[in-house]
Each structure stands twice: as structure tokens, then as C-alpha cells.
């Protein structure tokens, strides 16, 4: 059983998708804790409702990023988590914290990476005039939204879309995308750490299309 540590900053609908998949038996995993950088994150409520320990580790309670990372990852590591899942975690993680856990952190990002890194991805897609958009699950590396892409889901951009309608269409696909990717990892068919190694010269595997 894959032991997951989940990080979330807000609504937590991706966390809920993981919880639901575990509860239904679709995903052989357990969530050892939910960590948030915000006390008002609804993700905390969702975790508590499911009996998952909910932790708040706020940047403002620490002197700098290194101290915040040390507190956050110290708490996570104490649980013996196999994989750290950033599910709507809206904060940069320091390079040394990432480097200390090579291939053990993944992130879901609302764009077809390498397009539209960072924030406001749906508006970025509209501004660029693309006809296709979506979401990616990738390995977290020191560079923002730039680690190897493990899986993607695609949606059309439709006439009349605004950032909200597009975000809703993408979000609906994010939930199965994240769950399916975790299932593929839990069943040993995908090893995020092995995909990391490919960065050293070998061509990247084509991401799963989900």
C-alpha cells in the first residue's frame, strides 16, 4: 500500500478525489497526512472528515524558506510517507528540500506542460489562443513546473470560454488524472524516481494520456 503525504493550499478537490478513490477501493493507497500552508484551507476539513491527520505549517511562523521547509518535511518524513503529492499546493518548495527527496514528490499542474507554467494557467492558455488545454502530473524538481511529465489529460478550448469555464473543464479531468497516475504508481507500473533518472540524457518517456 502506497503511503501518501498530500500537500494542499485551498479547496482540496484533488485531495477529495484521492480520498474517494481509496474509500471505494479503486486506489490501493493510504494518506498518512494532509499538510497545508494555510489555516483556512478547506482541504484541512476534508482530511479531518476522512480521519486523516491535518497539519498546518505556515511560512509566517518560520524565519525563512529553509526553516519552513525543514518544519514541513520533518513532519512529513516522520510519517514514513512513500510519496509526497502536491495537490493544489501553491507554494515553491526549496531546491534543497526537493533534492533531498529525488523522485519522491509529484505535482498536478493545470496546463499541458511544458506550456503555461506558474500561475493563471487558464488565462495564459486563452491569451495564447490554443485550441487544446489540460492538466499534467509531473515529478517535482528544483525548477518550477519543469520536472518530467508522467501523465496528461486534454480538453478542448471552446468558443466563449473564459478562465472560469476552462478551469472547470480542466478540473473535472484533473481528478481522474491524478487518481489514475497514483494507481499506476501504486501498482508499480510507473516509478517517478526512474523517470527522474531519465533526465540524465535518456529521452523522456511519452507521458501517459489519461
Strand ordering across the sheet containing 132-139: 54-56, 29-36, 2-7, 83-86, 105-109, 132-139, 149-156, 208-209
- To the query of whether residue 133 is one of the catalytic residues in this protein, the response is no
State yes or no: residue 13 binds ligand GAR (CB under 6 A): yes
Dist CA 183 CA 180 (whole Å): 5
Dist CA 171 CA 193 (whole Å): 26
Determine which residue in the list 174, 179, 181, 195 makes contact with ligand GAR, applying CB under 6 A: 174
Which positions make up the binding site for (6R)-10-formyltetrahydrofolate? Answer: 65, 90-93, 107
Residue with Cβ nearer ligand GAR (11 or 62): 11
Lookup result for grid cell 517535482: 140
Determine which residue in the list 52, 98, 140, 171 makes contact with ligand GAR, applying CB under 6 A: 171
Burial class (CB in 10 A: 0-12, 13-18, 19+), 139: buried
Cα–Cα–Cα angle for 101, 105, 109, nearest 5°? Answer: 145
Cβ proximity of 7 and 86 under 8 Å? yes
State yes or no: residue 8 binds ligand GAR (CB under 6 A): yes
Residues 108-147 that bind ligand GAR (CB under 6 A): 108-110, 135
State yes or no: residue 88 binds ligand GAR (CB under 6 A): yes
Residue with Cβ nearer ligand GAR (173 or 183): 173
State yes or no: residue 14 binds ligand GAR (CB under 6 A): yes
Residue with Cβ nearer ligand GAR (166 or 202): 166
At residue 4, the 3 state secondary structure works out as strand
Which positions make up the binding site? Answer: 12-14, 65, 90-93, 107
Among residues 109, 122, 133, 138, the one annotated as catalytic is 109
Give catalytic residues, as residue numbers: 109
| Residues found near ligand GAR in the complex (CB under 6 A) | 8, 10-14, 87-88, 90, 108-110, 135, 171, 174
Amino acid at each position: 500500500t502506497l503511503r501518501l503525504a498530500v500537500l494542499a493550499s485551498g479547496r482540496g478537490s484533488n485531495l477529495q478525489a484521492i480520498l474517494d478513490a481509496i474509500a471505494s477501493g479503486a486506489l490501493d493507497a493510504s494518506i498518512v497526512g494532509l499538510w497545508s500552508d494555510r489555516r483556512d484551507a478547506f482541504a484541512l476539513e476534508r482530511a479531518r472528515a476522512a480521519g486523516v491527520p491535518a497539519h498546518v505549517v505556515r511560512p509566517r511562523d518560520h524565519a525563512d524558506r529553509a526553516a519552513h521547509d525543514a518544519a514541513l518535511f520533518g513532519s512529513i518524513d516522520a510519517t514514513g510517507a512513500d510519496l509526497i503529492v502536491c495537490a493544489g499546493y501553491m507554494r515553491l518548495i526549496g531546491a534543497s528540500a526537493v533534492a533531498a527527496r529525488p523522485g519522491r514528490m509529484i505535482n498536478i499542474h493545470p496546463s499541458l506542460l511544458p506550456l503555461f507554467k506558474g500561475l493563471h494557467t487558464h488565462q495564459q492558455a486563452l491569451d495564447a489562443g490554443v485550441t487544446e488545454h489540460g492538466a499534467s502530473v509531473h515529478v517535482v524538481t528544483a525548477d518550477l513546473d519543469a520536472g518530467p511529465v508522467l501523465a496528461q489529460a486534454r480538453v478542448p478550448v471552446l468558443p466563449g470560454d473564459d478562465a472560469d469555464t476552462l478551469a472547470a473543464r480542466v478540473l473535472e479531468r484533473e481528478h481522474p488524472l491524478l487518481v489514475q497516475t497514483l494507481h499506476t504508481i501504486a501498482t508499480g507500473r510507473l516509478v517517478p524516481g526512474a523517470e527522474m533518472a531519465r533526465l540524465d540524457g535518456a529521452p523522456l518517456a511519452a507521458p501517459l494520456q489519461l
